Structure 1
Amino acid sequence: MSYLEYVVAAYAVFVLVLAWDYLAPRLQIRQQLRTARLRAARAAARPAVPTLERVAGHDRNAM
């Protein structure tokens, strides 16, 4: 391997690592946002579950 090939290979690896450092966090954030949106949609679609206080007629907020 000549010196030129070594330098080109080193720069190519550097660019690949730099691109991965740029993309990896964005992909993780995108996945986490998607998961949060799906979880919120499931929670919104779920019927409300009455708490024991409401069933027993004791609501702390009514005091």
Structure 2
Amino acid sequence: MAAVEGRRGSRGGNGGEREEAAVAGRRATMELCSRTKEELNFGMDKMEKKMRTENLLRDQST
């Protein structure tokens, strides 16, 4: 019984489920941020590659 009581929030009730939901929400947010960061890095890499190509073409034409 002590293990169950330990999971309850300070106000009693079912704090364990609230805490699990909060953890799941943070985990989902971190995953979304990670995916967004990967997409940004991919976009930056593409842009850098395009700029390098443009610079090479410009250098070759002069």
Q: What is the number of residues matched between the two proteins?
A: 49
Identity, in percent, stands at 6
- Deviation at residue 17 of structure 1 after TM alignment: 1.7
- Deviation at residue 48 of structure 1 after TM alignment: 5.4
Taking structure 2 as the reference length, the TM-score comes to: 0.60
In structure 2, the gaps of 5 or more residues are 1-8, 10-14
**CA radius of gyration, larger in:** 1
| Aligned alpha-carbon RMSD (Å) | 2.0
Divergent runs of 4+, >6 A: none
Picking from 17, 27, 30, the partner of 2:43 is: 30
Structure 2 counterpart of 1:5: 18
More helix per residue: 2
Q: Which has the higher contact order (CA 8 A, sep 6+)?
A: 2
